[in-house]
Amino acid sequence: MLNKSGFEMIARILESAYELARFNPNGLPRGYLKAGSAPNQSDHKVCPSDLTAYRTLVIVRRDKDPRLYLASLGAEMEIVGYFAARTLELYVLCAQRNHQGAIDIVAHDFEHLYFWQGPSPQPVAQFRIPYGVEDARFLSWEPVSPVAIVDSNGSVETVAPDGSRTKLYTSHERIRVEDARIWVDPEEQESWYAAVLTKDWELSSGLHGIPTSTKTTNVLWRDPVFQAENNKYATPSPPGFGDVGQDWSWQDLHRDMALGTLDGLSCLIVTSGLSH
């Protein structure tokens, strides 16, 4: 039989259960969104599991709505489904229609990385991100494909919809990443490379994100005409740093990269321009 302390413990458990049942998670500033909780619930239908009938699909955001919407483009735009996480705006990193016709999406809200797979509007996995994400890419067209990620510190890892996370390369110094791109070999998907461009004019690439090839400042852009133009906007050396004006000039430049095709071959296009 229960004694007095036993009855008191049961009473406390029941009180806690009652309060949890009354708790509204939507009241939290970072709480998860519930399905169909927006004013226009007709736009919040579950995404079909097979999207092969749709020719063109795009992912869009609506004003301050934190949800992502999957839309089909035809004579008129049709909302096919939506995806939601917390009450923060989502930013898509990569998305694909896999071999089974379902949609796979990876997005972030600057606090967490989310992985959607199939028709569910809620993510199947989430991951904390200590640094910003520079690029992410699915490594195959299979529904369970992992995603390769390069963060703003130059580290590379893969995440998968089952919640697994594998660190492939860890940068032990702050290399100040300007941009990064992941390229997957179309003939051999197990071979993929991560290219990283730093603010110090260094371009590196390597199989599975491990740097093996590096191009330095003298190889990229530093022709006399460009340098003369760049020096017009060079930031003066801070007090106590001596004559290092040109070392600070990267602050006045914008550099980015894109994957393209040249004469039928995949290539990396690197651009640079003055921000003034």
Q: What is the pLDDT of residue 107?
A: 95
**Res 35: pLDDT:** 47
183 token code pair: 């390229």
| 52 located within any domain | yes
Residue 96 lies in a domain: yes
pLDDT of residue 32: 64
Beta bridge partners of 159: 147, 165
Rounded Cα gap, residues 90 and 33, in angstroms = 12
Total tally of structural domains belonging to the chain = 1
What range does the domain containing 114 cover?
29-129
Whether residue 244 lies inside any domain: the answer is: no
On whether residue 266 sits in a domain, the answer given is no
Q: Is residue 114 part of a domain?
A: yes
- In three-state form (DSSP H/G/I as H, E/B as E, the rest C), the secondary structure along 49-67 is CCCCCCCCEEEECCCCCCC
Strand partners, 266: 261
Report the pLDDT value the prediction gives residue 36, as an integer from 0 to 100: 42
For residue 143, which of 175, 109, 105, 169 has the smallest C-alpha distance? 105
φ, ψ dihedrals at 107, nearest 5°: -140, 170
pLDDT digits (tens, 9 = 90+) for 158-215: 999 888 899 999 887 667 788 899 999 988 878 999 999 887 778 888 999 888 877 6
* Cα–Cα distance measured from residue 102 to residue 91, given in angstroms and rounded to the nearest whole number: 20
Tokens describing residue 214? 């590096």
User: Is 179:140 a contact under the CB 8 Å cutoff?
Assistant: no
| Strands of the sheet with 77-83, listed across from one edge | 57-60, 68-73, 77-83
Give the pLDDT confidence score for residue 227 in this predicted structure.
56
What is the rounded CA–CA span in Å between residue 158 and residue 182? 12
In this prediction, residue 261 carries a pLDDT of: 86
* Structure tokens, 186: 């179309």
Are 84 and 67 in contact, with CB atoms under 8 Å apart? yes
Q: How many CA atoms lie within 13 A of 166 on its CB side?
A: 10
**Could you tell me which residues come within 8 angstroms of residue 84 by beta carbon, excluding any fewer than 6 positions away?**
32, 33, 35, 66, 67, 68, 90, 121, 122
* pTM, rounded to two decimals: 0.71
In a domain, 105, yes or no: yes
Q: Which pLDDT belongs to residue 220?
A: 60
What's residue 203's pLDDT? 84
Give Cα 240 distance to the centre of its chain. Answer: 39
Contacts of 91 (CB under 8 A, 6+ apart): 107, 108, 109, 110
* Residue 13 domain-assigned (yes or no): no
Question: Residue 186: its pLDDT value, please?
Answer: 84
* Run of H or E including 12: helix 4-22
Low-confidence ranges of the chain (pLDDT < 50): 29, 35-42, 235, 237-252, 276
